[in-house]
Structure 1
Amino acid sequence: MPRWSAEKANRWWAKTGWVCGFNFLPSTAVNFLEMWREESFDRDTIRRELGWAADLGFNAIRVNLHYLVWKHDPDGTAARLDWLMSAADGLGIGTVPCFFDDCGFGGAEPEYGPQPDPIPGVHNSRAVASPGRAALMDGTDWDGYQSYVRQIVRRFAADPRVLFWDLYNEPGNRMIFGADGSSSYEPDFSARSLALMTNCFEWARTESPSQPLTVGAWVTPPVGSSDDPYQAPADKTALALSDIVTFHAYADTPNVRRFIDYLADLGRPMLCTEWMARPVGSRIDDQLSLFRDRNVGCFQWGMVKGRTQTHLPWPADLVAQHGGAADRSVWFHDLLDDQGRAYDPAEIATLRQVLSRQDA
């Protein structure tokens, strides 16, 4: 199956309509391993929080799977994904599954089983990569990765509940967060990530899915840089292989406009699959309307404050690199507390107003 033509991708986008969603992890899960294990797959919380999202007008979720859960329980993993997509679809919400993820901010390698409690005061302190950075460097489970991708895509290849397939989140992301609020980098494994990402496109296309495939461009230059964005090898390869253009944009509005202008030249539908971090200027009150006006789909990070603690800031040095300050009095991500109460009622009013527009 070849890459979609730009014409086919744009026909899909015209039929789909504007997409506005969020990256979903229920508030009772400390990471995606905890979310997907049968013992901790919290159906009641998932139903409740998706219901809150539907009430606000969201029409999509992006959600990471985890390879280790599938490896230990392939049939159960697929069944739980099926259940999640049915719960979302019943509320008018489409699903974007994501297979692999290098964003292991917690620093530990993933281990199947009960997950530890969050480290107090640390953003996403138990985030683990999928399949894991050490597993990528070891390189002995490639056949398993192929089976994982192909079996799940095969099962849902014609399923309208799948909006699109996001094959790999942030390939080559080496950042880790320290418990003391610092940030650092692990040894480079980006060549392995690039190889796995490229194989993912081949494996998924072998199953001839009816939905488009993508990997988001995520490595952007420092805020204020005049360099063209998305020139890192992983980004360039992702943009060349993807049926639709996806990208991450934790940046202020002038920079987000720059990213959109740059990517618009590719002539394909655009969706920002991660955004919204208040202290770096990535805010609902101006950027949601920008995405709507430019017909760029968007998925903000987070919905309900919970065990990931993503309402807390990134490390101060990383926030500064993105042009902000790590102000702990301001929620970094997330919209609601675990009772469904809004962090900022004005944001909710803006969301309702933009999401109810009928012009796109």
Structure 2
Amino acid sequence: MTAKHYLPLLILPLVVLAFFAWRRYGPVNATAVPGRWSAEQAQIWYDKEPWLVGANFIPSTAINQLEMWQADTFDTITIDKELGYAEGIGMNVMRVFLHNLLWEQDAEGFKQRIDTFLQIADRHHIKIMFVLFDSCWNDDPKPGKQPAPVMGKHNSGWVRAPGTKRLNELSTWPGLKAYTQGVLTAFATDKRVLLWDLYNEPTNSGYGDGVLPLLTETFRWARAVRPSQPITVCQWDDSRRVTAFAFANSDVISFHNYEDAPKLEKAIQGMSKMERPLICTEYMARTKNSLFSTCLPVMKKYRVGAINWGLVKGKTNTIYSWTEPMPNGQEPTVWFHDIFRPDGSAFDQRETTLIRQLTATNATAKPVAQR
């Protein structure tokens, strides 16, 4: 998922946003939001779970979050089939993106579809990490019919949430608050939900520190709900203020790492000093030498949750690299992300065999009781 989209024209409005938000909400600092779980509470929660292994999930028939969840394109048949592929190799968690427009478009219907999705995942013994906001890829998201994929282009249709316009316009934030608190309240005690990831790669797309005001408010909105599940925001780049804020306010530490195994291990050793559970919520980019064969054993060694990008080749086109599109649509010899083809066959059966072997020692979970 990670790709830096530097947009110089965004810098000035984001600086202005940060200034006015500072005047309204006060200074943003690493301890701004009360309600964080203690390290002991987080560890007790983590110790009750098996080693967490899974993928970032979107069905192969959806190009983005909106197409996955909107009523006319909510594809339960494909979701069920593809979560079955994950279950078959021992995966027990999926990271799944939501979107504020889905709540604003049809809150009750959206909640019902989330519940249906959770029922399907639970039948496959898979818990869900939901992501509320995202700074990556295409700006200005719109509900309704979504575009067709651009041939050979990675994530050509993925959309940001909420997008730059609403990030810059504080008058629209009550709608974002209603979405955040509405979704969390609806599933705050649902055992099928593993944890909440409030904001994916918040500084991406050139946002930098300009995202801090909304990120801070999102933590405040979420903490006010007091969900039974932990809350996190990932570390993914070298933005010191945002990373410090995310680390200081997350119940469990999540991070992205598309480096080779030695660099991954070094990062894990550094973050372990925070003495909180660690979950890598994005990894595995084959042409960058971030591989199942080398990285997954490292994460098992340290009992770090391991959630790779991509399960099934589909409309997101994430078999292609972030920076090397293939306009002719030819399948790359080495896939960038993803594990399975839509028919359930593996890109590399050695990988699925390894994942199955490494997850074999996990206890088989039983479907949790309904809410």
- What's the TM-score once normalised by structure 2's chain length? 0.85
Distance 1:109 1:269 in 2: 35
Q: State whether residues 209 and 241 of structure 2, in contact with CA within 8 Å, keep that contact through their aligned partners in structure 1.
A: no
Shift of 1:316: 4.4
Distance 2:179 2:353 in 1: 41
- CA gap of 1:358–1:126, structure 2 versus 1, over 3 A, is closer
Partner of 1:73: 106
Task: Write the distance in 2 (CA, Å) between the matches of 1:189 and 1:108.
Answer: 12
Matched, 1:24 2:42: no
Contact 2:89 2:353 in 1 (8 A): no
The letter of the residue matching 1:90 is: R
Pick from 156, 172, 188: which aligns with 1:157? 188
Q: 2-side partners of 1:68 and 1:195: how far apart?
A: 20
SS in 1 for 2:183: helix
Matches within 5 A, 1:213-228: 213-220=231-238
Query: For residues 151 and 362 of structure 2, what CA distance do their matches in structure 1 show?
Result: 43
How many Å separate the matches in 2 of 1:189 and 1:282?
26
Q: Does 1:94 align with 2:127?
A: yes
Q: Which has the higher mean CA deviation after the structures are superposed, 113-122 or 308-317?
A: 308-317
Aligned to 1:133: 164
Deviations 1:270-325 (A, max 9, x none): 000001110001100111111111100011000000000000111149xxxxxxxx
1:237 aligned to 2:245?
Answer: yes
Residue-by-residue CA offset, 1:67-106 (whole Å, 9 max, x unaligned): 11111111111111111111101111001111000012xx
Corresponding letter in the other structure for 1:328: P
Distance (Å, rounded) in 2 between the aligned partners of 1:212 and 1:286: 29
Tell me what 2:271 maps to: 263
Counterpart of 2:300?
Answer: 292
Local SS of the residue matching 1:304:
coil
**Matches for 1:46-85 after TM superposition, within 5 Å:** 46-85=79-118
Which letter does structure 1 place at the counterpart of 2:338? D
Q: Quick one: which amino acid aligns to residue 205 of structure 1?
A: R
The aligned amino acid for 2:89 is L
Question: Are 2:212 and 1:194 equivalent residues in the alignment?
Answer: yes
The equivalent residue for 2:173 is 142
Distance in 2 of aligned mates of 1:17 and 1:346: 23
Is 1:203 equivalent to 2:234 in the alignment? no
Shift in Å at residue 328 of structure 1? 3.3
Matched, 1:341 2:345: yes
Query: What displacement does 1:108 show?
Result: 4.2
Cα offset, 1:336, TM superposition:
0.6
In structure 2, the gaps of 5 or more residues are: 1-33, 326-330, 364-371
Q: Which deviations, in whole Å up to 9, do the C-alpha atoms of 1:40-93 show, x marking residues without a partner? A: 111110011011111111000010101111111111111111111111011110
For 2:311, the equivalent position in structure 1 comes to: 303
* RMSD over equivalenced CA pairs, Å: 1.6
Query: Which whole-Å CA distance do the structure 2 matches of 1:232 and 1:69 have between them?
Result: 32
- Three-state SS of the structure 1 residue aligned to 2:307 is strand
Distance 2:337 2:344 in 1: 15
Deviation at 1:193, TM superposition (A): 1.9
Which of the numbers 277, 283, 301 marks the counterpart of 2:291?
283
Percentage of matched positions with identical amino acids: 41
Moved over 6 A (4+): none
Equivalent-residue separation in structure 1 for 2:230 and 2:94 (angstroms): 16
Query: Residue in 1 aligned with 2:3?
Result: none
Secondary structure, aligned partner of 1:206: helix
Per-residue deviation, 1:358: 4.7
Could you tell me how far apart the structure 2 residues matched to 1:126 and 1:156 are?
28
Aligned length: 325
Q: CA separation in 2, counterparts of 1:353 and 1:61? A: 19
Shift of 1:140: 2.5
Is residue 2:146 matched to residue 1:115?
yes
Matched residue type, 1:233:
R
Contact 1:26 1:49 in 2 (8 A): yes
- Secondary structure (helix, strand or coil) at the match of 2:333 reads coil
The corresponding residue for 1:246 is: 254
Q: Mean alpha-carbon deviation: is it higher for 263-272 or for 128-137?
A: 128-137
Unmatched 5+ stretches in structure 1: 175-187, 221-230, 318-326
Report if the CA contact (8 A) 2:93-2:126 is conserved.
Answer: yes
1:17 Cα deviation after fit: 2.5
- Per mean C-alpha deviation after superposition, the further-off stretch among 126-135 and 257-266 is 126-135
CA distance in 2, matches of 1:108, 1:242: 26
Contact 2:139/2:164 (<8 A) preserved: no
How far residue 158 of structure 1 moved from its aligned partner, in angstroms, is: 0.9
- Shift of residue 189, structure 1, vs aligned partner: 3.3
Which TM-score applies when normalising by structure 1?
Answer: 0.87
* 1:182-230 deviations in Å (ceiling 9; x for gaps): xxxxxx433442111111111111111111000010115xxxxxxxxxx
Residue 179 of structure 2 is aligned to residue 171 of structure 1 = no
CA contact (8 A) 2:256 2:280 kept: yes
Instruction: Identify which range, 132-141 or 280-289, moves more after superposition.
Output: 132-141
Distance 2:298 2:265 in 1: 8
